[in-house]
Structure 1
Amino acid sequence: MTLIRVALIVAAVAFAAMIVSAALRADIFESFAAVSADPWGAVSLVDLYIGFLAFGVIVWFVEPDMRARLGVIIALPFLGNLVALPWLAWRLPMFARALRRR
Structure 2
Amino acid sequence: MKVARIISWIGVLAMSAALYYGFTEGNFFVDGGMILDNPWGIVSMVDLYVGFILFSMWIFFREKNILSSIIWTIAMMVFGFLTGSLYVAIHLGKSNGDWDKFFLGTRSDR
> For the superposition of Structure 1 and Structure 2, which TM-score range results when normalised by the shorter chain?
0.7 to 0.9
TM-score by length of 2: 0.79
Establish whether residue 2 from structure 1 lines up as the match of residue 5 from structure 2: no
Q: Please tell me the root mean square deviation across aligned C-alpha atoms, in Å.
A: 2.1
4+ residue segments displaced more than 4 Å: none
Q: Which residue of 1 aligns with 2:52?
A: 52
Q: Deviations over 1:38-96 (max 9, x none)?
A: 00110110111111111111111111233321210121111110111111122233871
Q: Percent identity?
A: 25
SS at match of 1:53: helix
User: Unmatched 5+ residue regions in structure 2?
Assistant: none
**Across the two proteins, how many residue pairs are aligned to each other?**
100
Q: Which residue of 2 aligns with 1:35?
A: 35
User: Unmatched 5+ residue regions in structure 1?
Assistant: none
Q: Which has the higher contact order (CA 8 A, sep 6+)?
A: 1
